[in-house]
Amino acid sequence: MKFIINGQQMTVEADPRTSLLDLLRDHLHLFGAKKGCNQGACGACTVLVDDGERILSCLALAVQYDGREITTVEGLAGEAGMHPLQNAFIEHDGFQCGYCTPGQICSALGMIAEWKRGVPSHVTGDVCSSQISLSSDELRERMSGNLCRCGAYNGIVDAIETYVEGAK
């Protein structure tokens, strides 16, 4: 199997039973994406595919993503240092133990792209609207696939809001 992972071409031999999460962690030793529940309930394994679409790597067979581009939390920092969303998580205490954080950060980047594209959510009043404002309710609903057992949600929401404001 061939992938572009965090911008680098990689060739990996693996059994078809290997999940994308196990491929990243066990074969490539990229330990950013976490194995929380391994059944799609917690979001700790969230990674970005191709143009930044967020998926759950635990429910993805690696072989199904052969030829695709994968970005994990390790691929977000640039030469100038950490990604601004990573800095915002630090600034706002967007974590306590940190286990869910890589998934939260990847998920938030995917979420922002969906919101900018106009994807409606469960709490969107008018699903036909092309301009949906990213209210706190919208943000929380759109991030509901990422659990934080420490309960750092207020900090996570603040961090994402600060990043969205700063990116304007």
Partner 1 sequence: MTPFTYARAYDVAEAVRLGQAGTTKYLGGGTNLVDLMRETIERPTALVDVTGLSSAIEGRPDGSWLIGCAAKNTAVAEHPVIRERFPVLTRAIVAGASAQIRNMATVGGNLMQRTRCAYFYDDDGSRCNKREPGQGCDALGGFNRMHAILGGSDQCVATHPSDMCVALSALGAVVHLESASGKRTVPLTEFHRVPGHEPGIETVLLPGELITHVELPPIGFSHHSNYRKVRDRASYAFALVSVAAAISLDGGSIKDVRLALGGVGTKPWRSWKAEAALKGQRPSVAGFRSAIDAELADAKALRDNSFKIDLARRTVVAVLSDLTGVSA
Name the site residues for partner 1 (rule: CB under 8 A): 15-17, 19, 38-40, 43, 46, 53-56, 59-61, 63-64, 107, 110-111, 114, 117-122, 124, 127-128, 140-142, 144-146
Nearest to 99, CA basis, from 44, 143, 55: 44
The SS3 call for residue 69 is strand
Residue 81: CB minimum distance to partner 1, A: 27
Nearer to partner 1, 82 or 149 (CB): 149
Contact 135, 113 (CB under 8 A): no
Q: Which is nearer to partner 1, 56 or 152 (CB)?
A: 56
Question: Which run of H or of E encompasses 4?
Answer: strand 2-5
Look at the chain and count its residues: 168
Q: Residue 80 or residue 128: which is nearer to partner 1 going by CB?
A: 128
Q: How far is Cα 162 from Cα 18, in angstroms, rounded to an integer?
A: 37
Helix axis angle, 153-167 to 101-117, nearest 10°: 50
Closer by beta carbon to partner 1, 60 or else 159: 60
**Nearest approach, Cβ of residue 166 and partner 1 (Å):** 22
CB of 54 to partner 1, least distance (A): 5
